[in-house]
Structure 1
Amino acid sequence: MTQIPADNPCGATRFWLAVACAEHVRRGRAEGFMQVNHGKQGPLRRMMPGDGIVYYSPSEQMGRKDGFQSFTAIGRIRPGEVYRGYMSTEFQPFRRDVDWANGTEQPVKALKECLELTADPNWGYSLRFGVREISHHDFMLISQAMTGQAVTVQL
């Protein structure tokens, strides 16, 4: 079982859903980091070490409408601060390090009837800002689907 210890200094583990195309999420998984909202700092600063993170990818590649709609990564925020990554001299996005769990990408439609996130028929509208908090319940269901076991955290 993958352990996600809660080392949040405030003692309250939170669970987040971030939105990015699968191609970008896969790169972050391979390199052990996450970034959101085209490299913005603010949303990453709300996350704390030990918080759970799930990525939802509406498409395989940025700007495409291919109906991919899958959960593509799950893990926990590592200790450390938000920092700048280097993509080019013009683009240095803010990032956080993540311990990604081993798992497989899962279509959202397989879990849609069980998640609190998707209970509203217009659930996709809540993702327009690129990051939102989700429930422990949803985090655990997505974890089970992606890893075959619960990605545990201490609440």
Structure 2
Amino acid sequence: MAHWIGVVHRAQARMAREAGQVAFSHGRESLVRGLDVDDTVIYYAPKSDRDGVPVQAFVAHATVTGAAPYETEFRPGLTGWVRDARFDDVREVPVKPMLDSLSFVPNKRNWGLTFRGGRFSIPPEDYARIAGAMLGGAA
């Protein structure tokens, strides 16, 4: 089992939850193909939507359930690759108060650079810290 951070806008995370699917980087096939059943995905949202206000929080938590990726239509004329997933009820957790305790953020001063990619793996200890805070525990 691996733990992943996906970087999407809050609106995209909500759409993913409603669809019961995870996707990354506008539906890039290689990124969902690299997932396994029972992998976990925590979505980080830098903004509310493409031109929206800053969010800078972990906004969704999912567990991959689909054995294989497939292509689907996100909206008319826009398709992408996804994996089926089960989303949990979580609270949004701001990233800034957690930065000092996250080992996958090497440069605390320029922490935003860490979240530039569409998907990246994180160590189990960091996953437990974030997921615990999202699922109702202490950060």
Deviations for 1:33-89, whole angstroms, at most 9, x for unmatched residues?
11110111011111111111110000001144x321000111211132111111345
- Specify the alignment match of 1:50 in structure 2: 38
- Specify the alignment match of 1:115 in structure 2: 102
Aligned residues: 137
Structure 2 residue ranges without an equivalent (≥5)? none
SS of the equivalent of 1:57 reads: strand
Q: Is the 8 A contact 1:126 1:132 kept in 2?
A: no
- Specify the alignment match of 1:142 in structure 2: 130
Root-mean-square deviation (CA, aligned residues, Å) is: 1.7
Q: Is the 8 A contact 2:105 2:114 kept in 1?
A: no
* Aligned match for 1:105, one of 75, 81, 92: 92
Structure 1 residue ranges without an equivalent (≥5)? 1-12, 151-155
Within-5 A mapping of 1:34-45: 34-45=22-33
Equivalent residue letter for 1:90: G
Aligned-pair identity (%): 26
Q: Is the 8 A contact 1:113 1:119 kept in 2?
A: no
* Aligned match for 1:59, one of 47, 53, 69: 47
Q: C-alpha separation between the residues in 2 aligned to 1:21 and 1:130? A: 11
Q: C-alpha separation between the residues in 2 aligned to 1:28 and 1:46? A: 18
Q: C-alpha separation between the residues in 1 aligned to 2:75 and 2:60? A: 25
Give the deviation of 1:124 after TM superposition.
Answer: 2.4
Residue 132 (str. 1) matches residue 116 (str. 2): no
Give the deviation of 1:134 after TM superposition.
Answer: 0.5
- Specify the alignment match of 1:30 in structure 2: 18
SS of the equivalent of 2:13 reads: helix
Q: Is the 8 A contact 2:91 2:136 kept in 1?
A: no
* Aligned match for 1:91, one of 68, 78, 88: 78
Equivalent residue letter for 2:86: D
Q: C-alpha separation between the residues in 1 aligned to 2:116 and 2:10? A: 16
Give the deviation of 1:135 after TM superposition.
Answer: 0.8
Equivalent residue letter for 2:123: S
Distance 1:75 1:130, change over 3 A: same
Q: C-alpha separation between the residues in 1 aligned to 2:74 and 2:61? A: 23
Q: TM-score, normalised by structure 2?
A: 0.89
